[in-house]
Chain A
Amino acid sequence: MTNTTNKKTGISRRSLLKTGAAAVGFAAGSGAITGFPTIWAQSNITLRQFGTGVSNLNAIADKCKADLGITLEMTATDSDAAAQRAVTQPDSYDIADIEYWIAKKVYPTGVMQPMDVKKLKYYDKIVPLFITGKLTPDSVIAQGTAPHTVGFVEAQDSKTFAKEPTQWMTMVPTIYNADTLGIRPDLVGRDITTWADIMDPAFKGKAAILNIPSIGIMDAAMIMEAMGNIKYADKGNMTKEEIDKTIDFLIKAKQDGQFRAFWKSFDESVNLMASGEVVIQSMWSPAVAAVRSKGIACKYQPLKEGYRSWGGGLGLAAHLKGAELDAAYEYINWYLSGWVGAYLNRQGYYSAAMDTAKQFMSEDEWGYWVDGKPAKGDILAPDGKVMEKAGAVRDGGSFVERMGKVACWNSVMDEDRYMVKRWNEFIAA
């Protein structure tokens, strides 16, 4: 029964993200210039940004118009369509807001230009995870398409990624997070500590994983390795045998009835969890928040093997030059200057330059979202709704605890096509 009554709230967050992008063009176009207009206000510069929707937020475009006078036209697509558009219609956008694994496919085709780090005002403030791959000097570099491996090129006109940080940055990170399993603490009946727990016979028919091949295979890899079935050389770039082994294992688990469902969309995952059909499953952090906002216990459970992480960034189209290029730099510098970072941090994501974001967040907000401290007062969502009551502690703890335990980044495999083919077999089996 919970489903029907809660359906609306379940999708509200997502629809905020998605419809936001559509409304942006109109809202930004009609909005009067307020705040502190700079030179851009007179020249009426418009930047066309397209991307995967997570960071295509209405509020950011409005604020950008108000602060810089730059009109942002945003278009949201899913990640595969974003990759295609980036390559095949390079003149249709000025700024690409894409994930790092997409950049790995797209950048070498020559449709983007690198950014001069000397022109990036807050380059030094960018979290070292995106520069050296290490959050703290003694961190271990995660598997998969780690952002720093595709973050720089050798020279301005080079299309090969540099091994070390250079003057030429391919993308400025915008938004990233660490994903893990979501659980219903009231229904699992025991401590969940490892990815392998999703295969516990006790949860037969009550587990789910997501049916998006490129991400689902990673969750499966985390599970396989946690169970001790296999040791991958690189989970983010499996060999054919590794793919076969992983998929065969999934097929067997499916036929044994371990899974209740495979979800494809955000609200499906929310409903599965909220209705109690599933007690442990792959999940995204806003989905956990959505379940909790219905008053149902849901935990984004940290696991000992670590997180599967993802991240996106802003890149410049190759055709940008002159005033438009300057405006794009201005926009990116503004993006890193703190307001956007604070906005994203408050949604449970992380921003690229944490230090600048801190200035735009209250001490309590910073303590809850970033330092992993108990909230002193109620934690509000950007739309003013209470997200967490006073006293709550963020699952997984602080920024360093969460992002310091990334085991693997979302990635694109060399054997991508083979993997998708086998994944379809798993779903059909």
Chain B
Amino acid sequence: MTVALNQPATVAATKPARRRRFSVAALAPYLQATPLALILGAFLLLPILMIVVVSFWDYDFAAMYPDFLTTNYADTLGSWVTWKTYLNTLKYAGVVWALTLIIGFWVAYFLAFHIRTTAMQMVLFLVCTVPFLTSNIIRMISWIPVLGRNGLVNSTLVQLRLIPKPIEWLLYSEFAVVLAMVHLYTLFMVTPIFNTLMRIDKSLIEAARDAGASGWQVLWNVILPLAKPGMAIGTIFVVTLVMADFSTVQVMSGGQSASVALMMKNQMSLLQYPAAAANAVVLLVLVLLMVAGILRIVDIRKEL
């Protein structure tokens, strides 16, 4: 890329006769990059830019007024509600991340190393994706009749006389939120980890065994380090999904718990777009920092 750019430039300065080659060679990569650049520019960069711009605007119940005010940020960052909500969202992200990572790795490991035939691996992997044939919302709402006060779990336990009265914290609680999120997002962890595990050269494991490594040592010293890129990609998926979630938190906590996106949604439903935009910018910066942190720890490109 750099060669293509720099070399013709210097050549062109000294030898004008070779200008034609310069234009074709230099334009090709630009042309190749144009479609993606246009799409990303129009549908990602431009909207984000607009959000940033609007976050400095003034507003009342009816309209937004172009301005340069920092009050939206002052209101957002200066309120304990924001901090508490961010902490709460980060807590969900942390717990859900840990659980999906453990479960996801477990499932992927089983698929990659305990299922002998590739055909069976693919079949079982497709089985994992079956729940995704229904919508996100349906899968989430299905938990309500299971966990409710008179739901499947409680009525079964009560009928078996294991508990005297229904357990209240199963539904409309943080437990319910985490449960639903783990259910919704584990596959995002399974897929990339499974992918990296499949690429591990089996001879590495044989070599480790020949060198006298135990099963745990193979897992810890060979498989885990090689699975890191998959885990990092899965982590990015899960963390960004949880940080941006509002419907799961709203439905499963019965409106009792707050998340950052839910806070934004409340502001938007009251048409306080600039306030929501300021919130969105803060969340974007935070999530980008988190992704940057993950990429610093694991070099996805190098280890793929």
Interface residue ranges, A against B (CB under 8 Å): 1-4, 78, 80-81, 83-84, 87-88, 105-106, 109, 205, 208, 211, 213, 254, 259-264, 271-272, 275-277, 416, 420-421, 424-425, 427-429
* Total A-B Cβ pairs within 8 A: 92
Q: How far is the CB of B79 from chain A (nearest CB, A)?
A: 8
Tell whether, in the assembled complex, residue A428 and residue B84 are in contact, meaning their CB atoms are under 8 Å apart.
yes
A32–B171 CA distance with the chains assembled, in angstroms: 51
Contact A424 B145 (CB under 8 A): no
**Per-residue contact bits, chain B 69-92, to A (CB 8 Å; 1 contact, 0 not):** 000000100011100110010000
Cβ of B66 within 8 Å of any chain A Cβ, yes or no, is no
Shortest distance between the CB of B38 and any CB in chain A (Å): 31
8 nearest CB pairs, A to B: A261-B254, A262-B255, A87-B62, A428-B258, A3-B145, A428-B81, A425-B81, A211-B255
State whether A416 touches B61 (Cβ < 8 A): yes
Most chain B C-beta atoms within 10 Å of own C-beta, residue among A80, A83, A213 = A80
Asked whether B150 lies within 8 Å of A83 as measured between CB atoms, the reply is: no
User: Quick one: which of B143-157 are within 8 Å of A by CB?
Assistant: 144-145, 148-152, 155
B117 at the interface (CB under 8 A from A): no
User: Chain B contact residues: over half helix, strand or loop, or mixed?
Assistant: loop
CA distance A80 to B63 in the complex (A): 12
> Is residue B135 contacting chain A, with contact meaning CB distance below 8 A?
no
Produce 1/0 per residue, B142-178, CB < 8 A to A: 1011001111100100000000000010011000000
Of chain B, the residue at the smallest CB distance from A263 is B255
Pairwise interchain contact A277-B81, C-beta atoms closer than 8 A = no
A-facing mask of B107-139, CB < 8 A → 1, else 0? 000000000000000000000000000000000
Q: A275 and B61 in contact (CB under 8 A), knowing A80-B270, A84-B271, A261-B254?
A: no
Would you give the shortest CB distance from A31 to chain B, in whole angstroms? 34
Closest CB of chain B to A11's CB: distance in Å?
Answer: 12
Residues of A close to B145: CB separation below 8 A: 1-4, 275
Q: Are B256 and A261 in contact (CB under 8 A)?
A: yes
Within 8 A of A (CB), among B246-272: 250, 254-256, 258, 263, 266, 269-272
Task: Write out the residue numbers on chain A whose beta carbons fall within 8 Å of the beta carbon of B75.
Answer: 421
Given contacts A3-B148, A276-B149, contact A428 B62 (CB under 8 A): no
Query: In angstroms, how far is the closest chain A Cβ from the Cβ of B132?
Result: 20
Question: CB within 8 A of B255: which of A83, A88, A261, A271?
Answer: A261
**In contact, B152 and A80 (Cβ under 8 angstroms):** no
Q: Are A84 and B81 also in contact (CB < 8 A) when A264-B255, A424-B263, A424-B266 are? A: no
CB distance from B65 to the nearest CB of A (A): 12
Pick the residue among A83, A271, A277, A428 that contacts B149 (CB under 8 A): A277
* A364 smallest CB distance to B (angstroms): 36
Q: List 24 A-B contacts (CB under 8 A).
A: A1-B150, A1-B151, A1-B152, A3-B144, A3-B151, A84-B62, A88-B62, A105-B62, A109-B62, A205-B168, A254-B256, A263-B255, A264-B250, A271-B144, A272-B254, A277-B148, A277-B254, A420-B272, A421-B79, A425-B81, A427-B256, A428-B85, A428-B88, A428-B258
Give Cα distance in the complex from A1 to B159, angstroms. 15
CB-CB < 8 A to A416: which residues of B?
61
Cross-chain contact of A262 among B62, B63, B171, B256 (Cβ < 8 A) = B256
Which chain A positions have C-beta within 8 A of B148? Answer: 3, 275-277
Q: Which residues of B contact A83 (CB under 8 A)?
A: 61-62, 271
B61 and A105: CB pair below 8 A? Answer: yes
CB under 8 Å from chain A, chain B span 25-45: none
Across the interface, which residues of B come within 8 angstroms of A262, CB to CB? Answer: 254-256
Closest A residue to B84 by CB, please name it. Answer: A428
Smallest CB gap from A204: residue in B: B168
Distance, CA A263 to CA B253, complexed state (A): 10
CA A428 – CA B250 in complex, angstroms? Answer: 11
Taking a contact as CB atoms closer than 8 A, the residue among B80, B85, B256 that contacts A259 in the complex is B256
The CA of A78 and the CA of B269, in the complex, are separated in Å by 9
Give chain A nearest CB distance to B57 CB in angstroms.
14
Q: Which chain B residue shows the least CB distance to A205?
A: B168
Q: Report how far A213 CA is from B79 CA in the complex, Å.
A: 18
